[in-house]
């Protein structure tokens, strides 16, 4: 009897331990995904802080060198959807390792190239790898976590974005000044190689979809809520990029261009705070958080449009902007995954990634035109105007997309 009782007690203890483990996030694996997000985001924006040195070495103008950012976004926008469909049957870990290996190759070629055309090809390849990775990462994070923690898991993975923007770009710029711009890209290669080993050791594998279950994009568009989420993604990211891409010019017009790094640091710190809040509350308050994020960015744009002659209020706007923007990738990826469901989630994510990068490329172009034609004062006004339909769609999508009542994850 004693042996049976001991065996039952051990069984109960093992079950309790397994239950407790199921309630925890696999942080080591999720941090590997966050590092992948960091590398994809930083690889895209790194040239922005290295343009003068890159243009001298490549023998082209700074504006031409700046197109290394645009072609990266185009590589992602043009290939994310078809490659997601073509690789939907691949096992997830194999696909993640392949996409990150693409970054290692592309950044290495960028670092050693002295030919502008070759550099542009390498950047396009990096954009292709980003399209595959971004369509994969949010869904991967969801599968790593128990249902009630899936939103928090995506928040951890997406934390790589504000870290890249607030810390990675300044650090890369500093390294470029000290050791040359090529060293910055070689460091990216080293980080990616280390990440490949990390993923291989710590991230569990999952199967892809069966051939008959591959994502159908037109079907995903007809899923209630998906179109609303994609519209919000396109316009929200467009608005953000218009001001972010030209924040240095805007601040210089105000006479505080020397404080650009500090303003971006404030923005980045607020973004990290936003990521933490969203991660803690997204499971219960996705709709409220999305509405709040939209309103905060709109208010920040209004402050910059109306009150930017007061330097202190510029920093207040940076805080509001960061608080509004930081959690947006997590909110939109989570909303797309939930609206798409098991059958259409991958297709919805692929379209989201595509529109995200279309918006980034478009924001750079539109912001540049506004700057040349109307001056820096037009930038925050354009952001405010774009945020009005975003707020309207989020508020109206109360049944699907950003629902008042959410089904179980």
Residue 389 has what pLDDT?
96
Of 7-11, 234-238, 324-328, 349-353, the range with the lowest mean pLDDT is 7-11
Most confident of 149-153, 285-289, 398-402: 285-289
CB 387 within 8 A of CB 236: yes
Q: Is the pLDDT of residue 265 over 90?
A: no
pLDDT in tens, 116-129: 999 999 999 999 99
3-class DSSP state for residue 402? coil
Residue 19 has what pLDDT?
45
pLDDT in tens, 61-89: 766 777 787 788 888 888 877 887 788 88
Query: Rounded to the nearest 10 degrees, what angle do helices 247-254 and 226-244 cross at?
Result: 40
* pLDDT over 90, % of the chain: 33
CB atoms within 10 A of CB 407: 7
Task: Give the CA count within 13 Å in the CB-facing half-sphere of 246.
Answer: 29
pLDDT in tens, 350-402: 788 788 878 887 887 788 788 878 888 999 999 999 999 999 999 998 888 89
pLDDT in tens, 195-216: 999 999 999 998 877 655 555 6
Q: What is the mean pLDDT of residues 399-409?
A: 70
Confidence class for position 407, pLDDT limits 50, 70, 90 = low
Supply the DSSP string of 128-190, one letter for each residue.
HHHHHHHHHHHHHHHHHS-GGGHHHHHHHHHTHHHHIIIIIHHHHHHHHHHH-HHHHHHHHHH
Confidence class for position 41, pLDDT limits 50, 70, 90 = confident
Question: What span, in angstroms and rounded, lies between the C-alpha atoms of 380 and 300?
Answer: 9
Q: Is the pLDDT of residue 311 over 50?
A: yes
Q: Is the pLDDT of residue 3 over 60?
A: no
């Amino acid at each position: 009897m004693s042996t049976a009782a001991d065996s039952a007690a051990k069984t109960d203890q093992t079950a309790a331990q397994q239950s407790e483990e199921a309630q925890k996030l696999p942080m080591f694996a999720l941090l590997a995904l966050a590092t992948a997000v960091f590398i994809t985001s930083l690889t895209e924006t790194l040239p922005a802080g290295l343009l003068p040195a890159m243009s001298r070495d490549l023998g082209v103008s700074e504006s031409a060198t700046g197109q290394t950012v645009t072609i990266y976004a185009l590589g992602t926008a043009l290939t994310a959807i078809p490659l997601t469909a073509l690789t939907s049957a691949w096992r997830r870990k194999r696909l993640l390792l392949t996409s990150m290996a693409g970054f290692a190759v592309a950044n290495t070629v960028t670092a050693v190239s002295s030919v502008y055309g070759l550099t542009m090809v390498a950047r396009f390849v990096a954009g292709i790898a980003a399209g595959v990775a971004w369509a994969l990462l949010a869904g991967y994070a969801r599968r790593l976590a128990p249902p009630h923690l899936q939103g928090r898991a995506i928040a951890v993975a997406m934390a790589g974005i504000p870290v890249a923007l607030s810390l990675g770009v300044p650090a890369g710029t500093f390294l470029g000044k000290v050791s040359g711009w090529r060293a910055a890209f070689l460091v990216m290669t080293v980080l990616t190689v280390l990440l490949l080993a990390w993923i291989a050791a710590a991230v569990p594998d999952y199967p892809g979809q069966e051939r008959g279950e591959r994502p159908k994009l037109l079907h995903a568009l007809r899923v209630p809520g998906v179109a609303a989420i994609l519209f919000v993604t396109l316009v929200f990211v467009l608005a953000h990029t218009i001001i972010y891409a030209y924040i240095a010019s805007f601040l210089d017009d105000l006479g505080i261009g020397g404080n650009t790094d500090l303003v971006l640091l404030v923005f980045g710190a607020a973004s990290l705070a936003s990521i933490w809040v969203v991660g803690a509350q997204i499971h219960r308050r996705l709709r409220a958080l999305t509405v709040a994020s939209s309103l905060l960015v709109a208010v920040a744009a209004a402050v910059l449009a109306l009150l930017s002659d007061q330097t202190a209020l510029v920093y207040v706007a940076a805080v509001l902007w960061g608080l509004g923007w930081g959690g947006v990738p997590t909110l939109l990826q989570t909303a797309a995954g939930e609206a798409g469901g098991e059958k259409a989630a991958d297709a919805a994510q692929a379209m989201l990634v595509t529109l995200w990068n279309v918006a980034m490329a478009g924001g750079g172009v539109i912001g540049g035109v506004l700057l040349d034609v109307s001056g820096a004062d037009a930038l925050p006004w354009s952001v405010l105007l774009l945020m009005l339909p975003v707020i309207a769609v989020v508020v109206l999508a109360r049944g699907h997309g950003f629902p008042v009542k959410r089904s179980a994850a």
